[in-house]
Chains A and B, each alone.
Chain A
Amino acid sequence: MKNILLILIFTSMAWGETPHDGMHHTHEEHVHEKFVDGKKLEVDPERFDKFIMDLKDTQIAIVNVQGMVCDFCARGIEKIFKKDINVKKIDVDLSKGKVLIAYNVAHEIIFEDIRDKILMNGQNAIDMQVIDL
C-alpha cells in the first residue's frame, strides 16, 4: 500500500496534456521540400507519394502528434477518423509522429476538430499543415 501512495505522489507532479494551437498552411508545388513561406514539410516523401497515389481533388492534412509511439495505441486514431464521412483516407507515420488525413476538397479543415479527434485517442495534436492536391 505504501508503494501505491509513493508512486501516486511522484507521478502526479507532472501532468502533460496541453495541445498547442495548430498552424494551417496551404501548398502549391514543392510537396517534398518547403512551403512558400519557407516552412519545411516534415513528411517522408516516399510515404507521402504512396499516400496520394490514388487521390484527386483532395486536401491532405499533415498533423504533428505527440505521444504516438505505439502502433497498437495509435489504432484508435484510424478508427475515429474513418467514422468521418469527409475523410477519404488516413495514414499513421509512427517514425515521424505524423498523421496524414485526406479530405474531400470541399471540406473545411479545422485544426481544433482534428485536435479533438486525436485527443479522443489520448494523444496530442500540436500543429498541422494542409496541402491541396
Chain B
Amino acid sequence: MGIRIICLLSVMSLGLDARPISYTGGSTIMAFSDNIKNSIYYHYSPSYKYSIGIEVIRNDYFNDNYSFLRYTYLLNRKNTENSQRNLYFQSGISSKGFDEFFYGLHGDWETRRLFIGFGLNETKRKIQDYFEQYYQIGVAPYVGDYGDLHTWIMIKAKENSLKNSWSTYPVLKFFKGNVLMEFGYSKKTEWDVHLMYRL
C-alpha cells in the first residue's frame, strides 16, 4: 500500500512516459500498479535502440520488496508513412541475486487510429517462477493534433501463472505532451494503472 501511494505521488508530482526506450539521451519515469505488484521504474536511453534502468518493486503476492536492474533492447522497428511497429527484448536482474531475474518480449503496432500490443515475461525467483502475458487492442475515438489530449479506448487480456487465470477488461489511455496515463479495471484483477513521464 505504501509503495502504491509513493507511485501515485510520484506521478502527480512528475508525470510519467510509456515506451520502454526513449529518444537518444532521454529518460523516462513510470509507475505501475496491478493485483500482483506496484513499482516505480526509471530508465535512461543512451541510444534509441536500448535503455537501462532501475525498477523498485513491491510484490503483493510474495509480500516482499526488491529491485530490478533492467535492460531493454529494440529488436525491430518498422516505420511506414502511417504506422510504426516495435519489438523489444526486456530483461532484469534482481537485487536479491543473480539467480533471480526476468526476460521477455514486448511488441506493438500502431497507427494514429489503431493500436495492438502484447507483452510476455518469464520471471525466475527462488520462491517460485512465474510467467505473465498480456494482449491489448485499442482504437482512438478521435485523431488529435500534436499537443492535444489524446485518448485511446482499449481491451486488455492478461494472465499471470501465479493466479492461473485470464482476465479481460477495458482500458483507457490518455496522453498529452510528456505525460501518459493508462487505467484498466476488472473485478478479478481490480485496478491496473500505468503512468509515465518522459523527461
Q: Which residues of A contact B (CB under 8 A)?
A: 1, 3-4, 7-8, 11-12, 14-17, 66-77, 79-80, 91-95, 97, 119-124
Contact A16 B77 (CB under 8 A): yes
A-B contact pairs, 8 of them (CB 8 A): A4-B104, A7-B118, A67-B77, A69-B110, A70-B84, A72-B19, A120-B25, A123-B84
A4, A94, A120: which contacts B146 (Cβ < 8 A)? A94
- Nearest A-chain residue to B176, judged by Cβ: A71
Task: List residues of chain B with CB within 8 A of the CB of A70.
Answer: 84, 110, 112, 150
Alpha-carbon distance A77/B48, docked complex (angstroms): 12
Known: A3-B120, A119-B48. A76 touches B80 (CB 8 A): no
Q: A7-B120, A69-B82 are in contact. Are A12 and B111 (CB under 8 A)?
A: no
CB distance from B187 to the nearest CB of A (A): 27
Contact partner, B18, options A17, A67, A72, Cβ 8 Å: A72
A75 x B177 contact (CB < 8 A): yes
Near A by CB (< 8 A), chain B positions 52-79 give: 74-79
Q: SS class of chain A's interface: helix, strand, loop or mixed? A: mixed
Q: Whose C-beta in chain B lies nearest to the C-beta of A73?
A: B19
Q: In angstroms, how far is the closest chain A Cβ from the Cβ of B188?
A: 22
The reply to whether the CB of B95 lies closer than 8 angstroms to some CB of chain A is no
Contact with A74, one of B87, B143, B146, B176 (Cβ below 8 angstroms): B146
- In the complex the two chains form, is A16's CB within 8 Å of B78's CB? yes
- Chain A residue at minimal CB-CB distance from B198: A75
Per the bound structure, the CA–CA distance linking A14 and B184 in Å amounts to 32
How far apart sit A23 and B88, CA to CA, in the bound complex (Å)? 32
* Contact flags B158-181 to A (C-beta < 8 A → 1, else 0): 000000000000000001111010
Given A67-B84, A71-B148, A120 and B77 contact (CB-CB distance below 8 Å): no
Cβ contact within 8 Å between A17 and B79: yes
**A1 to B178 CA separation, bound complex (whole angstroms):** 34
Bound form: Cα–Cα A6–B46 in Å: 29
How far, in angstroms, from A80 to B146 measured CA to CA in the complex?
Answer: 16
Point out the residues of chain A lying under 8 angstroms from B24, CB to CB.
Answer: 76, 80, 120-121
Residue of A7, A67, A119, A121 contacting most chain B CB atoms (<10 Å): A67
Q: Across the two chains, which residue of chain A brings its CB closest to B49?
A: A122
Known A7-B107, A67-B80, A121-B48; judge A79-B23 contact (CB<8 A).
yes
Contact A4:B83 (CB < 8 A) given known A15-B78, A70-B112, A120-B48 = no
Shortest CB–CB separation between residue A116 and chain B, in angstroms?
10
B145 adjacent to A95 (CB under 8 Å): yes
- Tell me if B10 counts as interface (CB < 8 A to partner A): no
A66-B80 in contact given A3-B133, A71-B150 (Cβ < 8 Å): yes
